Amino acid sequence: MGQLFDFTEVFNNLDKIAISFWATIRLAAVTAVLSMILGTVWASFRVSPTPVLRGVGTFVVNLLRNTPLTLLAAFCISALSDILKFHFSETPSVNGYWWAVTALSVYTSAFVAEALRAGINTVPLGQAEAARSIGLTFTQSLRMIILPQAFRSVIGPLGSVLIAMIKNTTIVGAVAYGVEAASEMKALFFDLGATLPMFIGFAVGYLVLTLPAGFFFGWLSKRMAVAR
């Protein structure tokens, strides 16, 4: 019974655990940036005056939202990287990292786009009309007037998308980039046997990442709210 709560192994392997979480953080941070950019592109397509772009935006978002991440990651690493030999780098771990980032960014971008589109819908039509009436082009008014207000109104939902993304690093980790935290946990379980303390150690590690992120986005969304 005492062994069930013996955290010695956790402390003995703290360096490995820390390194693996650092890999998770690097994966999540770069993915956060890329998925925001890509998601903004899809959302802009979906409100564009050009029907072709609107069609592309809708198609891509629906395709990505309805594809399991495991499949997408496996497609990237097996089909694109292993079979078609699209390599980001000759070093396997670097290549795996970038394919994991790619799969997760592309996947997450669909959810960013959906959140953002909801945000765009909260911006009163008059804002866009005023922007056009002073001579801003569609792109300028999107960039300077619509998107800044849309972002501020969906910081909360975007936070949820990013937290889900942090948890999804475990999936792309398992498929493409086996050095982040969840993969390290599996490796340690394999070497030392699965123990509750080790499991708790990793679970706490994820909470340390996601909880502050949640509080941060909550705080930010209050701070950035647009008064009307």
Subset of 127-146 contacting another protein (CB under 8 A): 127, 129-137, 140, 144-145
Cβ closer to another protein: 26 or 132?
A: 132
Binding mask of the shown chain, residues 69 to 108, with x at each position contacting another protein by CB under 8 A: ----------------------------------------
Stretch that binds another protein, among 4-12, 104-112, 147-155, 170-178 (CB under 8 A): 147-155
Q: Does 175 bind another protein (CB under 8 A)?
A: no
Q: Does 222 bind another protein (CB under 8 A)?
A: no
Q: Does 126 bind another protein (CB under 8 A)?
A: yes
Binding mask of the shown chain, residues 36 to 75, with x at each position contacting another protein by CB under 8 A: -------------x--------------------------
Say which residues have a Cβ less than 8 Å from residue 97's Cβ, sequence separation at least 6.
23, 26, 27, 88, 177
List the one residue from 55, 68, 92, 124 that touches another protein (CB under 8 A): 124
Cβ closer to another protein: 52 or 83?
A: 52
C-alpha to C-alpha distance for 147 and 47, rounded to whole angstroms: 11
What is the three-state SS of the chain? CHHHHCCHHHHHCHHHHHHHHHHHHHHHHHHHHHHHHHHHHHHHHHHCCCHHHHHHHHHHHHHHHCCCHHHHHHHHHHHHHHHCCCCCCCCHHHHHHHHHHHHHHHHHHHHHHHHHHHHHHHCCHHHHHHHHHCCCCHHHHHHHHHHHHHHHHCHHHHHHHHHHHHHHHHHHHHHCCCCCHHHHHHHHHHHHCCCHHHHHHHHHHHHHHHHHHHHHHHHHHHHHCCCC
Cβ closer to another protein: 135 or 193?
A: 135
Q: Does 121 bind another protein (CB under 8 A)?
A: no
Cβ closer to another protein: 12 or 137?
A: 137
User: Which residues are at the interface with another protein (CB under 8 A)?
Assistant: 49, 124, 126-127, 129-137, 140, 144-145, 148-149, 152, 226-228
